[in-house]
């Protein structure tokens, strides 16, 4: 496992001088059992040095509702290791992080350590958007396991052995216009993680593909092709199959069951709210009932991180299937297998 990626977040006074106004440095972690879709937690945090902003979120889904809290402050008012209810420590770069979530409106509290179980995949996303403004940022994904304690509404649960995927991104991101399908799949199996990021245009052409199969034995096999046949109810994924082809010639045909519900990333501010100055100590929260009253059309973004059950040739897994279909009437989903 290499140590080339600078894992600490860039902050004021730490290489931040002269950064572009839209520069960001963010992380996202999720945690969920290895054999169930709930409870599911997604938490993220980011620095925007040129804007003097630090913001983050916590999302908790229990199958009946999704609880969200979002928080923001001035980066210069922090010590660079969290804000609001969230604090973090890079215990060992690219190997071990500690996350603590204090009292907040979701009813979730957490004190846990994420330990890498695979090497990381590091790529660079470089896309030309319809507005002519390029997207270019470093993108890292890695699978791990958690140890520690989660408390939800006062009831404590051990998270020892739970799966956790992390996502690190740093640079300038403007993914605007022309996209039809977005998929970030992180299928977790006992000895490996099958992960890729796929973006297609509204005409079905591929705009971006990156990823790798990350093995617990330390090996990495790059993803070179992905085929998909997914079933949506309006904009919400229900189930389907993805076939992942690797550089070594392996083919993973993986069935996905995404009927658990929840994971609406609007709850984490993904509808264009990250990095906006909101002053010091801003906190807001809400609850989405998972009874059909909230969906990808009623929220300000269709992006959804759904805890999903996977089956790969009889081997069961649980992980994240992040998806979004454009809400443009000019697009309809097309399978490519």
pLDDT of res. 129: 45
Closest CA to 141 of 213, 237, 198: 213
| pLDDT, position 155 | 94
> Which pLDDT belongs to residue 1?
43
Q: What is the CATH number of the domain that holds 46?
A: 2.40.370.10
* Helix, strand, or coil (residue 327): coil
Residue 95 lies in a domain: yes
Query: Residue 47 belongs to what domain range?
Result: 24-325
Q: What pLDDT does 22 receive?
A: 87
User: What is the C-alpha to C-alpha distance for residues 36 and 90, in angstroms, rounded to an integer?
Assistant: 28
Question: Does some domain include residue 330?
Answer: no
Residue 35 lies in a domain: yes
Identify the sign of the CA torsion 15, 17, 20, 22. Answer: positive
What is the model's pLDDT at position 226? 98
Residues 44-82 have pLDDT tens digits of 999 999 999 999 999 999 989 999 999 999 999 999 999
CA torsion angle for 180, 209, 261, 308 (degrees, to 10)? 150
The domain total for the chain is 1
Residue 331 lies in a domain: no
Is residue 8 in a domain?
no
Is residue 17 included in any domain, yes or no? no
- As beta bridge partners, residue 284 has 70
Task: Calculate the CA 74 to chain-centre distance.
Answer: 24
Closest CA to 27 of 147, 153, 164, 154: 164
Residues of the chain with pLDDT under 50: 1-2, 129
Residue 97 maps to a domain: yes
Per-residue model confidence as pLDDT tens digits over 145-187? 999 999 999 999 999 999 999 999 999 876 556 789 999 999 9
Whole-number Å distance between alpha carbons of 193 and 293: 33
Residue 33 CA, distance from chain mean position: 16
The verdict on residue 292 lying in a domain is: yes
């Amino acid at each position: 496992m290499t140590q080339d990626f600078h894992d600490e977040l860039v902050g004021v006074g730490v290489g931040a001088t002269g950064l572009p106004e839209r520069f960001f440095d963010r992380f996202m972690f999720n945690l969920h059992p290895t054999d169930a879709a709930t409870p599911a937690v997604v938490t993220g945090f980011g620095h925007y040095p040129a804007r003097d902003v630090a913001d983050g979120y916590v999302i908790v889904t229990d199958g009946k509702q999704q609880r969200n809290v979002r928080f923001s402050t001035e980066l210069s008012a922090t010590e660079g290791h969290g804000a609001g209810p969230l604090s973090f420590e890079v215990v060992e770069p690219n190997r071990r992080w500690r996350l603590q979530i204090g009292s907040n409106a979701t009813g979730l509290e957490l004190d846990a350590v994420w330990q890498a179980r695979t090497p990381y995949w590091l790529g660079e996303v470089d896309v030309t958007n319809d507005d002519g403004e390029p997207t270019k940022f470093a993108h890292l994904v890695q699978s791990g396991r958690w140890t520690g304690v989660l408390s939800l509404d006062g009831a404590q649960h051990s998270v020892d052995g739970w799966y956790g995927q992390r996502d690190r991104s740093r640079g300038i991101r403007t993914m605007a216009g022309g996209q039809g399908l977005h998929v970030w799949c992180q299928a977790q199996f006992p000895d490996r993680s099958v992960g890729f990021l796929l973006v297609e245009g509204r005409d079905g052409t591929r705009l971006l593909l990156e990823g790798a199969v990350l093995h617990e034995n330390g090996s990495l096999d790059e993803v070179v092709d992905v085929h998909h046949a997914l079933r949506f109810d309006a904009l919400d994924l229900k189930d389907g199959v993805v076939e992942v082809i690797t550089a070594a010639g392996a083919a993973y045909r993986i069935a996905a069951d995404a009927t658990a519900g929840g994971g609406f990333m609007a709850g984490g501010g993904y509808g264009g709210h990250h990095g906006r100055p909101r002053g010091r100590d801003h906190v807001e929260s809400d609850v989405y009932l998972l009874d059909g009253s909230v969906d990808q059309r009623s929220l300000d973004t269709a992006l959804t991180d759904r805890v999903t059950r996977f089956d790969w040739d009889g081997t069961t897994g649980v992980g994240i299937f992040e998806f979004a279909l454009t809400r443009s009437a000019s697009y309809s989903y097309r399978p490519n297998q």
